[in-house]
A and B are shown apart, each in its own frame.
Chain A
């Protein structure tokens, strides 16, 4: 059984943004990048399934510019047996459908039994790539899984979290695609031996420009700063003064 995990490299959550002259937005130069946190959880699930069952191999794929190779190295370090880097041009991230089309070009012919990915990336925040990839490959899918296991019959039993913390239980025949929601499971750290292996055999590189193109269906017309919804007055002074002022305001308003 083969599991593919789709990983994205995203800016570290606290990195600052720069507003570009063309109306777009990008992380400031020198910003640091990391594996998307829900993608890391997806990889952790794949590695757990592989630990609990014999004969499962875990592969990782990442579509991104040259710097994204770091994500695949980390994935190998964590335990992925193989990695593919779909090398994309530098610059603004591609539309979700383009990403999904590239991933489908890689995954389609390789007939994975299970494809896992994060429910949403921290930068684009669309949550579209997983379901789009399932649609392009004609797979059954479910999103936002917080629990999963393989049954004795070789099916995937999963629970997805819905509104107000309710849970929906499902069983999927494989092949299938599942996106992952955060859960108490901490993704493991890469092992030294894993990282050494990754260094010794770099990922297979596929140029995105060589894959079948797909006309964009959504126009990206730049970005805006969010507008303030409330007054949002900022307190001033030393921390002690600010704390005193806050307490005074709360008392004044009868909130304390």
Chain B
């Protein structure tokens, strides 16, 4: 059951509105760690229109080759078109491990791509472990309370990787050759109708120095008033996890996480939030993190500088008093 990295490692470099996503350099960092164990050529693949600048940026990061797949059918993202475009190109590099960012695109196409390459689909990965026979991948499960250890059994594998999980590769190198391929894709049953801003994110939240974020552990809507009062007392911006926005207790522009805002305040108070990766992705860079959660096993404690294991509504009451007493 050998899982040495194969001769080819491919990094899928995604772009957000034309610019290279931070995940591209992170996946490259992971690829370098994997390649460290054997002689592997690392190549990057980009898909889309108008990405020449992003591809050239990638080419400067010390790769063997950068391949840019273009075509009128690839202007907007769709899973079926990407799998069509990627399959022949990746087949030619086989056997390979293909690293895909586990973002809204990667989680969409990686499984189907793995089928069309007859490769394993593994992920989302947030860590590596060295074991007998090479690296094994750690994938969060059970709400983040456990990490599953996995390894592909096939020569080829499509491996999705959580954004933010690995440090970005900082190495630069001579510009890698850039190969541009124009690919005709046909997805007759699918029409793009454009992209919109959606709910966006609150400016005030993104710029806040102090954020008080509430999650489902708040229990009842009535308890929201207390959280608001405490936020005011701490001069903090009120934010929350996705479920509270779904419930309508907060606006979606107050959501922190993968599908909300990414914040890096000096202080982040996570109140009744479990610490799912989709949430922590948006706040893990905060200066000082305080977790308040009655479950000592909640994964948010792993990220915290300070933990309070307590019933949230009761603790909010005490905090309000303590905060008022000395101001």
Contact = CB atoms under 8 A, between A and B. Distances in A.
B130 to A, nearest CB: 12
Interface residues of B, number: 109
A142 B79 contact: yes
Interface in B1-45: 1, 16
B142 A219 contact: no
Contact of B16 (A97, A143, A163, A226): A163
Interface stretch (A56-64, A109-117, A132-140): A132-140
Contact of B255 (A165, A173, A218, A242): A165
Contacts of B200: 164-165
Interface in B25-72: none
Given A169-B196, A170-B190, A230-B303, A131 B109 contact: yes
B208 interface: no
Interface residues of A, number: 82
Given A141-B80, A165-B198, A249-B306, A218 B191 contact: no
B141 A243 contact: no
Contacts, number: 274
A239 B141 CA distance: 31
A218 B253 CA distance: 38
Nearest to B314: A239
Contacts of A232: 291, 301-307
A167 B121 contact: no
A13 B274 contact: yes
Interface string B106-129: 011111101110011111100001
Interface in A93-144: 96-97, 119-120, 122-128, 130-132, 134-136, 140-144
B73 interface: no
A184 interface: yes
Interface string B231-268: 00011000000110011100011010011111000110
Interface of A: 11, 13-14, 16-17, 25, 96-97, 119-120, 122-128, 130-132, 134-136, 140-144, 157, 160-173, 176, 181-184, 215-235, 239-240, 242-244, 246-247, 249-251, 253, 255-256
Nearest 9 Cβ contacts at the A-B interface = A173-B189, A217-B120, A243-B318, A169-B193, A131-B111, A135-B112, A162-B104, A167-B198, A243-B322
